[in-house]
Copies of this chain bind each other. A is one copy, B any other.
Amino acid sequence: MTRPPQKRRVETRARLLAEASRLIEAQGYAGLRVEDVVEAAGVAKGTLFAHFRDKDGLLAVLIGVEVMHLIDGMETATPPQDLPQLMERLEPLLDFVASDRVIFDLLLRYSGSTGAERDEVVAEGFYRQIDLWAGWIAGMQAAGTVRGDHPPALLAEGIQAFLNQVIAIRFCQGEQATGTPAEALYPFLAAWLVT
């Protein structure tokens, strides 16, 4: 018999998330310090770890929310009819993940994790995204603009793979990265989705 959380707990959690979000907006993900978050939220350090498994657990919630919004946006838009339209739909997510190394690392670590106890926002977003893309692909297969010789789910996971690849290489290249992530992604998707 697990009781529902007390009002105080809910408020504290909300304050921690809100202050963390504010600090990140001001100084980026990389600069976020646990000490700063708890001070801003007016709680002791131990409290943060009573609400989140670790610092990454907190970040996962914040990033998960962003990803969910981006997926909402993708779901709302009309399904793409061909590769250029697919690229358009993917671009916001691509830019978000490519915007900060911390985001990328965290998504790569948690995505697909069957978050038994882990904050599940990220894993949930991951599956939503794959399902959504698979649906798009099924439509494009029907329209004949995408290869039909493999199941949509496989092709959708492949999109994920190329997305990660392109972004990983960008971060490794550091400053000397050239062009947009989308430009780097295009040739891979063209080869992957069209025969």
Contact = CB atoms under 8 A, between A and B. Distances in A.
Interface of A: 108-114, 123, 147, 149-150, 154-155, 157-158, 160-162, 164-165, 168-169, 171-174, 176, 187-188, 191-192, 195
A42 to B, nearest CB: 34
Given A114-B173, A174-B114, A161 B165 contact: yes
A194 to B, nearest CB: 9
Given A113-B173, A114-B176, A174-B113, A191 B108 contact: no
Most chain B beta-carbon contacts within 10 A, residue among A158, A160, A161, A188: A161
A178 B174 CA distance: 36
Contacts of A114: 172-174, 176
